[in-house]
Structure 1
Amino acid sequence: MIIQMRIDDRLLHGQVAYSWKSALSYEAIVIADDNAANDEVRKQALKLSNPDGVRLAIRPVQEAVKLVQHPKLKAMRVFVICSNPESAYQFIKEIDEKPVLNLGNMQKEDDKKALSSTVYVSKEDMHYLDKIIDLGYEIEARQVPDESAKKYKDLKNKMKN
């Protein structure tokens, strides 16, 4: 069972691994990211951030979809992490669950505008986030569980002003 999804361009790091572990009590992390899955050095670095006793799988998006549909993972509390909205959309449109999608960290780049203090989005990012909303998913922005969640729709509306 997918208990939450997160978009974080850093994927797995201490903040994600430990603060969200306490809040969600997940048993497995599935990183759905084509680039990370095909980069052995990055995979090894990500494994170093994995909490003890938590299963970790780093797969291309389509393989990650198949993995979370396996009965063994369906019986576990799974936290799914993608690096960007397009990957999250590609993943979400293939599953039958509706976990909350958390926007954690998306770094500032020239073509991106601030959605929140830690989330910068391009027009393409917003296109995919809007498509996720259209599929009936809730999207929130917050870095850690202790912060109050801000709804994507509210943040998007403030950007227009």
Structure 2
Amino acid sequence: MIKLVRLDYRLVHGQILAAWVNHLSAQRIILVDDAAANDEMKSAALKLAKPAGIRLNFFTVEKAITKMPKILELNENIMMVFGTTKALVDVCKATGAINEIQYGATFNKDGSKQIDQSVFLDESEQSDTRELLAMGVKLYSQQTPSFPKEPITSV
């Protein structure tokens, strides 16, 4: 069962491992990010951060789309972490399987609009976010379980 779908450019880091994995009793983390899935060095580094007993998968967007039916049938608590808004849009469009997304953190680039303390969206990411909202996907920002959910209803 997918317990959480999160947008976070950092993929696996302390907040996810210390707060979210425990809060969700997650047994598997699926990272959906073409760059990480296709980079052995990056994948190896991210695997080092993984706690014992937690399964970690690296999927390209294409593989996530293909594997979604199996993911939905797994009898595990699953956390999916996407590296980009584009990946989220592509998977949501192709599968229709994701109806709620937590925006955790995006990179603060020149020209980005700040949505909350850790979410900054450039024009392309704003467009992707509007597309997700138009699909009826519920969006909210939340850093850790102790923070309140802040709905994202427009950009």
The aligned residue for residue 82 of structure 2 is: 82
| Structure with the higher strand share, 1 or 2 | 2
Give the CA RMSD over aligned residues.
Answer: 1.7
> For the Cα contact (< 8 Å) 1:4–1:99, is it kept in 2?
no
Greater mean deviation of Cα atoms: 79-88 or 91-100: 91-100
The correspondence of residues 8-157 of structure 1 with structure 2, limited to 5 A, is: 8-70=8-70, 74-153=74-153, 156=155
Q: Is the 8 A contact 1:33 1:60 kept in 2?
A: yes
> In 2, Cα distance between the equivalents of 1:72 and 1:139?
20
Question: Taking structure 1 as the reference length, what is the TM-score of the superposition?
Answer: 0.88
Between 97-106 and 39-48, the greater mean CA deviation after superposition: 97-106
In 2, Cα distance between equivalents of 1:129 and 1:22: 28
Report the CA distance between 1:72 and its aligned residue: 8.1
- Equivalent residues of 1:8, 1:81 under 8 A apart: yes
Superimposed CA distance per residue, residues 86-135 of structure 1 (whole angstroms, 9 cap, x where no aligned partner): 11111122224334211111121112121111110011101111111122
Superposed CA deviations along residues 38-63 of structure 1, whole A, max 9, x for unmatched, are 11110011111212211110111110
Q: Percent identity?
A: 25
Instruction: Give the match for residue 159 of structure 1.
Output: none
Contact 1:9 1:82 in 2 (8 A): yes
Q: How many residues align?
A: 155
- Runs of 4+ off more than 4 Å: none
Task: Calculate the TM-score normalised by the size of structure 2.
Answer: 0.91
- Counterpart of 1:56 in structure 2: which amino acid? L
Distance 1:72-1:128 versus aligned 2 partners, 3 A rule? closer
